[in-house]
Amino acid sequence: MAGPLQGVKVIEFVGIGPGPFCGMMLSDMGAEVLRIDRSSRVMGEIPEGPRSDILGRGRRSVALDLKHPDGVETVLRLVERADVIYEGYRPGVMERLGLGPDVCLARNPAIIYGRMTGWGQEGPLAHAAGHDINYISLAGALHGIGRKGEKPVPPLNLVGDFGGGGMLLAFGIACALVERATSGKGQVIDAAMVDGAAALMAIIYGGHAAGWWDDERGVNLLDTGAHFYDTYETKDGKYVSVGSIEPQFYALLLKHAGLEAGELPPQNDRSTWPELKLRLEAIFKQKTRDEWCEIMDGTDVCFAPVLTLTEAPESAHAKARNAFRDVGGVVQPAPAPRFDRTVPELERPPAHPGEHTDDALRDWGFSPPEIAKLREDKAIA
């Protein structure tokens, strides 16, 4: 596979959300990611039809019984050949399986061991159950997302699971790989979604300290408080987005919306924002979304239509950048970011559990008789 991480070998323990997203990021960049599935998940015959598990794309799957000592030993043999291993279980689970960091680093002192959790490896909540919505709540992120006078709105599960979780772990792994090139040593990465969500809030915490961000929801520059940074419904029931923060862009917004700047209060007079928002709401409802696109396209208003999941891949900009790909009949985002020399490619659809057990183990140094014995002993499926 192409990509800047070509040659890097990664072991991924199957999970949900942030773990698979991390694996997708690494695999998209060319790493050879081998997913460890539990043998109980093997379905027998591989189902036909499109494979829609986009987070699972790009890697092979080996199915092991991790309660079997030979299944554990199989993982440790893989560790000897790997650069990275990562898991997304609660603290202590891998240790109980006999696959904790100490054991793996003893087998391979250069291995990078990533740990993905919601609350972190220690602290009073370390062993508690949770999901994205809980992690971003404790980080202070969820409180600020929503409109004035209304309850907080979860931003899908983008902030905790993916931005503050999987992407942060992938970044940590990349950092550890760079450091290892100098030290020759592996290390353990404690990636917690609550930490990552807080890191994503850095500018907001800075604004709060400086006095330009209020703790009240929906009254600030970027949280729908400002009339020039919001979404508006159009005549046909669709929506457009406006982000005219800078004065020159705000002037263009007023011009193309048919408002006279000289008759309006200063842009950043917060006391007038609610009134001006009502005026813009009425104006945008006078035309359809496509009509507003014709008016705004090619300007510096900082404007875009709010596209659906069906519409986004079909936009002219997405098509020009080849931003979405069709892999086995499933339209999905292309690898990001982009590189001019080591260009990432999508070469393998998502794997079913255990689909590549024999081939992958052989490629990682197991002989055919060893694989046959593991299957006979039910250590692999």
Known catalytic residues are 131, 161
Nearest CA to 225 out of 191, 262, 256, 270 is that of 270
Residue 228, token pair as written in the block: 């020039």
Contact (CB, 8 A) for 31 and 347? no
User: What residues contact 67, with CB distance under 8 A and at least 6 apart?
Assistant: none
**E strand or H helix at 325, and its extent?**
strand 324-327
User: What residues contact 52, with CB distance under 8 A and at least 6 apart?
Assistant: 330, 350
Distance CA 68, CA 74 (A): 10
Q: Mapping DSSP to helix (H, G, I), strand (E, B) and coil, where does residue 180 land?
A: helix
Report the DSSP pairing between strands 188-192 and 112-117.
parallel
Distance CA 118, CA 128 (A): 9
Contact (CB, 8 A) for 80 and 87? no
Distance CA 44, CA 50 (A): 17
Distance CA 337, CA 325 (A): 15
Residue 309, token pair as written in the block: 């999941």
Distance CA 287, CA 300 (A): 20
Name the H helices within the chain: 18-28, 69-81, 93-97, 101-107, 132-138, 167-183, 193-200, 202-210, 247-257, 273-284, 289-296, 316-321, 357-363, 368-376
